[in-house]
Chain A
Amino acid sequence: SQTIHQWPATLVQPVGSPLSLECTVEGTSNPNLYWYRQAAGRGLQLLFYSVGIGQISSEVPQNLSASRPQDRQFILSSKKLLLSDSGFYLCAWGTSEKLFFGSGTQLSVL
């Protein structure tokens, strides 16, 4: 069966520091991968999606970037975090018609 791993679960970072969140999927090959952000009082916002190694589409211009160095690995990064980057970050695999989410990373930028 397929499983998705996301870490860390919580992260507290100072403004201006770098960020790296990692997500891996097991039990499937060439999955579509997604990064979402969930802010308080707002719906899930799609940040990036990838249909294959090295193929990244960005949905919203921002201070973040994504990379897919391996088939089942998806990384969310930032060179310098802003206060507005705080939120709950979710990795997912699947399709728009059925997404399987990881357990999320709660990021607090102070």
Chain B
Amino acid sequence: EDQVTQSPEALRLQEGESSSLNCSYTVSGLRGLFWYRQDPGKGPEFLFTLYSAGEEKEKERLKATLTKKESFLHITAPKPEDSATYLCAVLKNTDKLIFGTGTRLQVFP
């Protein structure tokens, strides 16, 4: 069965304390993996697309990486404004998109 699992469910960091969020997946026929950011009471906002193992994408303090079984979202020296829920989604070659349940990140000053 296709599955996308994100861990941890919640993460509390001190400002400047770097960490990583994990997205592990078991799907047949992976076409791509995506990261979204969702602020409370808002719709998700697209961050990154990763298509092949070894690929990396960066945006400000965020860097996304992909292996054959998981993706990491690395947050370097986070700031309070990075607080949000980060969603991972996997796209199958059947055009089916499967979302994880997200990691809720809180960054404290």
A contact residues vs B (CB 8 Å cutoff): 6, 9, 41-46, 90, 92, 96-104, 106
Contacts and interface: CB of A to CB of B under 8 A. Distances in A.
Interface string B3-42: 0100000000000000000000000000010100000011
14 contacts: A43-B98, A43-B99, A44-B44, A44-B87, A46-B97, A90-B43, A97-B32, A97-B34, A98-B46, A101-B44, A103-B42, A104-B41, A104-B42, A104-B43
A99 B89 CA distance: 11
Interface of B: 4, 32, 34, 41-46, 49, 87, 89, 91, 95-102
Q: What does DSSP make chain B's interface, helix, strand, loop or mixed?
A: strand
A99 B46 contact: yes
Contact of B101 (A41, A98, A101): A41
Contacts of A104: 41-43
